[in-house]
Amino acid sequence: MTLNLQTRLYIGGEFVDGGAGTEDVINPATEEIIGKAPLGSMENAEDAVAAAYDAFRHGPWPKLTRYERIDYMKKFYAALEARKDQIVPLLIAEAGATYSLANGAQWQTGMKHFRYYTERAAEDLTKMSRPEVTGSILGTSVVRYDPVGVVSVITPYNYPFMLNLVKSVPALLMGNTVILKPSPYTPFAATLFGDIAHEAGLPKGVFNVMTGGLEVSQFLTSDKRINLITFTGSDTVGAAIMQQAAPTLKRLILELGGKSAMIVRPDANLDAAVNQGLRGFTSHCGQGCALNTRQLVHNSIRGEYVARLKEEAAKVVIGNPADASTEMGPMIRKVAQERAEKYTQIGIDSGAKLMSGGKKPAHLDKGFYFEPTFFDDVDNKSQIAQEEIFGPIACVIGYDTDEEAIELANDSEFALACYFHSKDVGRAYEMAQQIHTGRCAINGGAGTQLSDEPFGGNLRSGFGRENGIEGLIEFTNANAISFHAA
């Protein structure tokens, strides 16, 4: 089908051309050009920051009641809903997502989180402090949660639509103004938001969409008028953003890399464990920060687990995600495909046993595909077990005791998520409390990403939280006004 692409930036309530020209955006499944995206210039970036700053300092948005902002965002939601039939195919073509992923984890989950945020934003977070008596004076204070200011929203290519929503919507609802900058691989999933904001009638400068190269990115993380940066991406880039933000002491929400462990205890349901283990490196071709790419399996069942995982990996249908029968699509670009090849060789050289995949699929001439790949007998200290690959590669690591499993799971610079499979849910819960990650899921967890559950990591997986009431409070400052009560 023909994609309806917005090829202009949205700055200060107007659609403008990219001052640095255009850039081809390709379909990672076919390597064909799907459109020419606007490439923002430093002049565009200056205009976007100036518009967002002016809208926050002098515009009506932060002064509106929470109900008035919610009314605007309900219009934003309705405009997105009306474009579902355009958005889902765009995510397939631009991000290489399979239909089930584009329609599910991208569209449905993103819109579910949107609804949740509008519901929670209706709550009055203002609170009265506990009164105290000092001598003959009774004193207390009112604590308000006020907007931070101008927010830079910087999103990655793997789940662009959902993350554009999860970051922008709560920031807007809490009274901030936003500059959204997407990955250069998936700009159209962001430029469409300009259309949406315009249709919803958001005041000028409240929401801006910006693209551009490294200089523009650095400007959006360093300019003194930016008050908060929310970023999802690699730990390396996250560290660079911290450096750029440090001189002006900006607030940061960083959702970074992961090397999440899945602990399979000897009493586990192997059908469920193998199913989740397979998804842990084939879902979106392994391009997910919270995927369980370290699979810690009790040695008494490891042989059977590995045999069954190998059998299931061989059945995965790889191909163009536009085909409804496809189960795993491409990686985003050739550089990602080459990274998977590099880490496969690193795994072989380390002495790990390659059990499946390790190369490009022979039947696909075009596209950035890579076979589902996993290693057995992996040393948890090795590169393939410690470094985030962001591709369809997993490690199976044996263990003998619960204590060893906990130690292995925590032996990582990343701490985003952890997973358990065990019939003894109580014991799994006890173990989960000893894992130093942002979240743990037992036997598949809730079956969905809960909107009321805060999401984020620790250590090199970053800090700050999305979703839940925490995801709204992140975009506020707690300000107190104290007074004599009597």
**Biggest alpha carbon–alpha carbon distance for the chain:** 84
Round to whole Å and give the CA distance between 15 and 18. 10
**What length is written for the chain?**
486
Round to whole Å and give the CA distance between 203 and 72. 10
Round to whole Å and give the CA distance between 299 and 366. 40
Tokens of 9: 């930036």
Please give the C-alpha separations between residue 346 and each of 342, 408, 420, in angstroms, as whole numbers. 6, 20, 28
Q: Crossing angle, helix 425-432 and helix 402-410, to 10 degrees?
A: 40
Contact status, residue 384 vs residue 346, Cβ threshold 8 Å: yes
Given 23, 132, 199, 255, the catalytic residue: 255
Amino acid at 89: P
In this structure, are strands 458-459 and 439-442 parallel, antiparallel, or unpaired? unpaired
| Alpha-carbon dihedral sign for residues 387, 390, 396, 402 | positive
Tokens of 176: 């901030």
- Residue showing tokens 């199913």: 275
Given 14, 31, 119, 289, the catalytic residue: 289
418 given a catalytic annotation:
no
289 given a catalytic annotation:
yes
- Residue showing tokens 């590669």: 393
Active-site residue list: 255, 289
